[in-house]
Amino acid sequence: MTLSKGGKREIGSFFSVSLGRLLGLITVSGFASIMAGIVLFGGIQLLILGIFGEYLGRMNFKSSHKPLYVVSRITEDGGP
């Protein structure tokens, strides 16, 4: 499984806020914990949305009743 741009951005945001808090760059009380929570739940929502999209895409493909491939020509001897 690979991460999308949004997933990478979520992980990067989480670590940058955490690192900023540890280094003392963020001095507002409660900012880091609120931002970490927002980023965490945003990432979970993106993950669930991606799983839901994969499910809908596969169900749409299966229910379209289209063949997986189309035969363009058939030869007399049955070979390629």
pLDDT category at 1 given cuts 50, 70, 90 is low
Residue pLDDT, tens place only, 10-53: 777 778 877 887 888 877 788 778 888 888 898 889 889 999 99
Type of residue found at 79: G
**Above 90 in pLDDT, residue 9?**
no
pLDDT category at 73 given cuts 50, 70, 90 is confident
**Above 70 in pLDDT, residue 5?**
no
**Torsion 34-40-43-45 (CA) sign:** negative
